[in-house]
Amino acid sequence: MSNALNGIAPLPHLGIIRVEGEDAAKFLQGQLTQDFALLGQDQARLAAFCSAKGRMQASFIGFKRGPDEILLVTSRDILAPTLKRLSMFVLRAKARLSDASEAFSLYGMAGDAAASLAQMPWVKQDLGAASVVTLYPADGQPRALWVAPAGEAAPAGLPLDTSLWQWGEVRSAIASITVPIVEAFVPQMLNYESVGGVNFKKGCYPGQEVVARSQFRGTLKRRAYPAHSQAPLAAGQEVFHESDGEQPCGLVAQAAASPLGGWDAVVSLQTSAAQGGRLSLGGPQGAALQLEPLPYLLAADV
């Protein structure tokens, strides 16, 4: 299965928000779910930007390019509204936010191309002018995100189609926020607290009370699960359980065609619906959806 995930893929669907200035880390500390005040030069952060109700408006992989420069890698389809929303909070902070997507090249490295890198997720290494962030594996294949100034040579390796990289993202079971799912989930509904996307010890940020309450009062009733269907899957599709034909029990968060046939997805489901019974897409009579085991442990189970 994992042989398909081997090589170097261009990532035109991703963009970059650059945060510059002496207050860059301090500013992001007050806005995102992860700790940026303690961000080292050799680390990256998975983080979410939430509404006041704790709903994810964007997700990022963030890291420092320099002492006063942080890059946030995000989906291009939400970049402009996210940049606008974040910028509203700058106020007196010495931080400048800009769309730096054209200033950098982004590639995904999978399999042999990433085998020599650090294998712990969210480690950042500087290789020449490039910043390389280790990601969670997909089907056992190592993966990394390569970010370098535009014009730098691409990393060495076999060419990998972008669509296969996106399938690997789905197989890692860590969904990113895109337009169809903006404000659909609190971070735990996508397992972000289990894969390094939420820090519960840091200070306030928009939606923090809701996120904390979901965690510590046992009110979390939804989780993310890998799933497969023979029918096409897309972010934002509703999922139904045979026990209730009226109300959806979940939502497709991210999906991609599988090179092995059919479609794979990350679905956020009511935990009760994941216990058994037929799951279907779009309605009670829709195509069947099969859940698969998570490739990582949930924090609650450790």
Q: Give residue 218's pLDDT.
A: 67
What pLDDT digit, counting tens, does each position of 208-241 carry? 999 988 887 766 899 999 999 999 999 999 999 9
**pLDDT digit string (tens) for 102-144?**
999 999 999 999 999 998 999 999 999 999 999 999 999 999 9
Q: Residue 1: what pLDDT?
A: 45
**Which residues have CB under 8 Å from 214's CB, separation 6+?**
54, 186, 188, 220
**What pLDDT band is residue 73 in, cutting at 50, 70 and 90?**
very high
Q: Which residues of 16-32 are buried (b: 16+ CB within 10 A; e: fewer)?
A: bbbbbbebbbebbbbbb
Q: How many helices (H) and strands (E) does the chain have?
A: 4, 16
Check if the beta carbon of residue 110 is closer than 8 Å to that of residue 134: no
SS (H, E, C) 20-39: ECCCHHHHHHCCECCCCCCC
Band of the pLDDT at 291, cuts 50, 70, 90? very high
Q: Distance between CA 268 and CA 25 in Å, rounded? A: 31
288 vs 175, 216, 262, CA distance in Å? Answer: 21, 34, 11
pLDDT for position 302 = 60
Give 300's pLDDT tier (boundaries 50, 70, 90).
confident
Q: What is the pLDDT of residue 213?
A: 86
Q: 0.95 cut: is pTM over it?
A: yes
Least confident interval from 23-32, 125-134, 207-216, 262-271: 207-216
* Closest among 267, 272, 271 to 292, alpha carbons compared: 267
The Cα 34–Cα 43 span in angstroms is 12
Percent of the chain predicted with pLDDT > 90: 93
Distance separating alpha carbons of residues 236 and 180, to the nearest angstrom: 5
Over the stretch 149-179, which tens digit does the pLDDT of each residue have? 999 999 999 999 999 999 999 999 999 999 9
Least confidently predicted of 28-32, 70-74, 208-212? 208-212
